[in-house]
Structure 1
């Protein structure tokens, strides 16, 4: 969220005092991320200890805090664990928001800082540990499992039908509708091919592992000592390992390196592994479908969001840019 929500700072301070026993001297909103349902803050106690505070409204699955806590306890140091409240819970409530507290790690995300060769190697090694960790049944049973659902593809088709006939007055909504209409043929072809890949994977399901599911550059944090962290565990999933492998070489980390260069470094850390080309293609294409659906929901179904709206539009259009994620996914597709 780029614009501060209509929440008084004193309410957040009071929540942290009641739930965590923290006496907060200063709290600052951090304009980070494109998720309009999440707001983050830096809170500093009277003793000078900084904390990272996350407020999330809407759907909340507690596995998103329980799993990273467990993974950190298993020695995966690249994960920042949530802190417990005074009653031992990993989150608390403040009105319509779930509140989660973390240690504050001073650093920059992968959009703000260039990942070094060693960062890419460390990234691969961390993901390998995540994918191979033994997760107890009490946690594993709470993690959603991949179904290759057609939900987002159907949502996209609905939007494509609407933008042919409907009109929007709000400026960002209007240009979003025009852009989707312009890209109609590309998007329909993408949805149809992704559906065929989904059907293949449903018929012959690959093995499932614990996946983060959203490791783009914004969810990789590099601290001031050059240590790498994987953050934002809101929606982990049991899925084929390609659910996470798609991010290396998939156009999710800018243009510092070519996809083969990213992969060469990443797999130094991850190690040799067979990669299912159908699963890899599916996830890269499906991510673009999800972007179209989610940004459509955000930009066409509401006029809220302020600065977040323009940024969301830019993210949407990047998918179809000459060197964007669709072009990169197509160039790396070994299924056609």
Structure 2
């Protein structure tokens, strides 16, 4: 987690981007512990999203600039600095400025079927975008960190089996114990399918990597914007499509009508069920282990730890991602 640099941000934006701000409001939703986000208002009334990132790479900024330059609707390009770069450097962190496109988040918002269709259209346009040499060099490969995710999952499971548990550790140990068999099965399936996915990788396209409803903003007449591209990757399209086909777009299941609208916007696609199930399983284990880590972080606030515990409980619920991934793997086995 990075320190709060709010008092300096307005000065940095003025010096680096030539924008004079008269308001700067922290945005608290989001799971990136290495970043700070503000809603800013310039003296002329224009709204901006100002972000200070302490980790990762600038790949997301390069991707959004590239996609917006190709005319992809629903992707907001970063504003250039005074010297034409996509971001500036401040105290070892990346400072970026993007237009503030909407106040309405899809998560918990009034998402219509027109929005669902537009969501599919945006994903289709992203996946159809040309992969430049710069993108190929900078973007990581989707699913490439699965071994690290398996190691982290095993480590959390071991930590929660230790004696002398109390408080949040005891609560989470109870949660993990309730899904011990499914989690072990997911780990085995990821290891088994990794060979198949590697040998039959499918074409790699630009993928957002994390296009859930929390990263979708809504506008009038069905307009949507896909934001927060920090997890952009080169991967088979199943890496993104699992958020529709696997039902993981929100904390509530995606309905058949919503799924149909999104796929109508996306267009005809031949989905590989093995790749889809593999990406679902990897994501389920990643979320489960990472949110558990956050729930047990002694440096986090009590509110943040409590929120993380709720997320973990949601992941293992009947509609949660662990359950959805387990079901997808079961269906894959039955189809063979």
Q: TM-score, normalised by structure 1?
A: 0.90
Q: Distance in 1 between matches of 2:23 and 2:192?
A: 53
User: Any stretches of 5+ residues in structure 1 without a counterpart?
Assistant: none
1:222/1:132 CA distance change after superposition, 3 Å: same
Aligned to 2:299: 303
Q: Is the deviation greater in 133-142 or in 234-243?
A: 133-142
Q: Distance in 2 between matches of 1:167 and 1:123?
A: 47
SS of the residue 2:160 aligns to: helix
Q: Distance in 2 between matches of 1:56 and 1:307?
A: 22
Q: Distance in 1 between matches of 2:323 and 2:169?
A: 25
Of residues 262, 276, 280, the one that matches 1:280 is 276
Q: Distance in 1 between matches of 2:32 and 2:145?
A: 23
| Deviation for aligned residue 1:139 | 2.2
SS of the residue 1:252 aligns to: coil
Matched, 1:44 2:41: yes
Aligned to 1:116: 112
Q: Distance in 2 between matches of 1:48 and 1:18?
A: 19
Q: Is the deviation greater in 128-137 or in 106-115?
A: 106-115
Q: Distance in 2 between matches of 1:307 and 1:19?
A: 35
Matches for 1:1-336 after TM superposition, within 5 Å: 6-58=3-55, 60-146=56-142, 147=144, 149-165=146-162, 167=164, 171-223=167-219, 226-249=222-245, 250-255=247-252, 257-258=254-255, 260-333=256-329, 334-336=331-333
Deviation per residue, 1:49-95 (Å, 9 max, x gap): 2211112222x212210111110010102101111111111112232
SS of the residue 1:165 aligns to: coil
Q: Distance in 1 between matches of 2:182 and 2:328?
A: 17
| Deviation for aligned residue 1:297 | 2.8
Q: TM-score, normalised by structure 2?
A: 0.90
1:301/1:28 CA distance change after superposition, 3 Å: closer
When you count helix as a share of all residues, which structure comes out higher? 2
State whether residues 106 and 214 of structure 2, in contact with CA within 8 Å, keep that contact through their aligned partners in structure 1.
yes
Q: Matched residue pairs, number?
A: 330
**Displaced runs of 4 or more, over 6 A:** none
State whether residues 182 and 326 of structure 2, in contact with CA within 8 Å, keep that contact through their aligned partners in structure 1.
no
